């Protein structure tokens, strides 16, 4: 195998160049709000691109020192990817949405998710930025709310406007309840079902006459103000985490495939290094 290892190694490194470009593209296409994989993925893509160039230079110029350094760094990368794959599986193992009876969507609770994700992804400092991003992203796709805010005590005029909006654009509560909302939409754009609020339109919900708001934090946190909605709710944080969890699982599959490919590159690279050393030895001592 060693006599063709340099050629095969060159072909494989052209492959890693392509993979690095794909990773850089993926990092730019990840959602802006709350995804902490964006920067590490971009760094990994650029790093892999640089390493592949060094390997190609080492192979073309038969520089054994450069190839040795490349293989050493590649081994560290393989170990790092393996550790990250195990870590990502552990932190995304917990957490899932709960199906609500007679609803097309699921609802999410923050306590269901990994402590590491809660501490490092949706902590108070990061959540300020995520909430601002969600608020400005038009995530909930609703027109301007009727006059009134808070928990739905905007008066008769506000309710009439809300009813008109519901009939005109949202198709009413029965239609809304059939919608398959994303985890972020379900957690951030409406109050949890257990609050018992009445649907007026997608982002305007009122407290039934004579009813009292439950003391649950998310029910008290809901606001009909379109810049607030349920962005202060635990359900919103849980929805964001559920979305991140799915993305991490998909990314773990991709990284596992890359890990297998890099192991092949490493094995071929060891042969290429031996071949390069033998070539230089024969040149020096014919």
* 199/176 Cα distance (integer angstroms): 9
Which carries the bigger pLDDT value, residue 255 or residue 210? 255
* 28/45 Cα distance (integer angstroms): 11
Judge whether residue 269 has pLDDT over 70: yes
**Tens-place pLDDT, residues 153-195:** 333 333 333 443 443 344 588 888 888 888 999 999 999 988 8
Mean pLDDT value across residues 253-268: 87
- Locus of tokens 């949890």: 192
Query: What backbone torsions phi and psi does residue 81 show, to the nearest 5 degrees?
Result: -65, -40
Our CA angle for 130, 133, 135, nearest 5°, is: 110
Mean pLDDT value across residues 147-152: 41
* 71/51 Cα distance (integer angstroms): 10
Residue 258: per-residue pLDDT: 87
* 87/107 Cα distance (integer angstroms): 26
Other beta carbons within 10 Å of 283: 9
**Tens-place pLDDT, residues 207-219:** 877 656 665 688 8
Which carries the bigger pLDDT value, residue 73 or residue 136? 73
Burial of 93 (0-12, 13-18, 19+ CB in 10 A): exposed
Query: What backbone torsions phi and psi does residue 201 show, to the nearest 5 degrees?
Result: -155, -175
**Tens-place pLDDT, residues 64-78:** 777 888 888 889 989
pLDDT band at 103 (very low <50, low <70, confident <90, very high): confident
User: Can you list the pairs that 179-183 forms with residues at least 24 positions away whose Cβ atoms lie under 8 Å?
Assistant: 179/104, 179/105, 180/104, 180/105, 181/104, 181/105, 182/239, 182/243, 183/97, 183/106, 183/108, 183/238, 183/239, 183/240, 183/242, 183/243, 183/246
Q: Which residue ranges make up each domain of the chain?
A: 2-94+241-284, 98-240
Kindly give the interhelix angle for 5-29 and 234-284, rounded to the nearest 10 degrees: 160
pLDDT band at 3 (very low <50, low <70, confident <90, very high): low
Q: What is the pTM of this model?
A: 0.74
Residue 4: per-residue pLDDT: 62
Percent of the chain scoring above 90 in pLDDT = 9
Structure tokens given for 100: 């609500």
Other beta carbons within 10 Å of 230: 27
Which carries the bigger pLDDT value, residue 147 or residue 15? 15
CA-CA-CA-CA dihedral for 215, 218, 223, 228, to nearest 10: 150
Judge whether residue 137 has pLDDT over 80: no
Residue 237: per-residue pLDDT: 92
Residue 238: per-residue pLDDT: 92
147 CA to centre of own chain: 35
């Amino acid at each position: 195998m060693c006599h063709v290892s340099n050629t095969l190694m060159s072909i494989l490194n052209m492959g890693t160049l392509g993979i690095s470009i794909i990773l850089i593209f993926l990092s730019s296409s990840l959602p802006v709000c709350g995804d902490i994989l964006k920067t590490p993925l971009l760094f990994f893509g650029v790093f892999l691109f640089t390493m592949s160039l060094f390997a190609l230079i080492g192979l073309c110029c038969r520089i054994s020192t450069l190839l040795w350094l490349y293989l050493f760094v590649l081994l560290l990368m393989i170990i790092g990817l393996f550790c990250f794959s195990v870590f990502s599986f552990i932190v995304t193992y917990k957490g899932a949405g709960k199906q609500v009876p007679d609803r097309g969507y699921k609802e999410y609770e923050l306590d269901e998710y990994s402590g590491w994700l809660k501490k490092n992804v949706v902590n108070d400092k990061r959540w300020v930025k995520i909430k601002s991003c969600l608020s400005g992203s038009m995530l909930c796709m609703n027109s301007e709310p009727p006059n009134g805010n808070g928990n739905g005590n905007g008066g008769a005029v506000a309710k009439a406007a809300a009813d008109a909006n519901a009939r005109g654009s949202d198709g009413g509560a029965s239609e809304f309840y059939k919608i398959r909302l994303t985890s972020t939409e379900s957690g951030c754009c409406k109050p949890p079902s257990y609050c018992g609020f009445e649907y007026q339109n997608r982002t305007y919900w009122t407290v039934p006459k004579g009813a009292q708001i439950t003391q649950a934090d998310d029910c008290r946190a809901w606001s009909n103000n379109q810049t607030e909605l349920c962005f202060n709710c635990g359900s919103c944080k849980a929805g964001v985490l559920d979305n991140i969890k799915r993305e991490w699982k998909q990314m773990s599959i991709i990284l596992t495939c890359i890990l297998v490919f890099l192991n092949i590159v490493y094995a071929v690279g060891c042969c290429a290094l031996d071949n390069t050393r033998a070539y230089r030895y024969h040149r020096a001592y014919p």
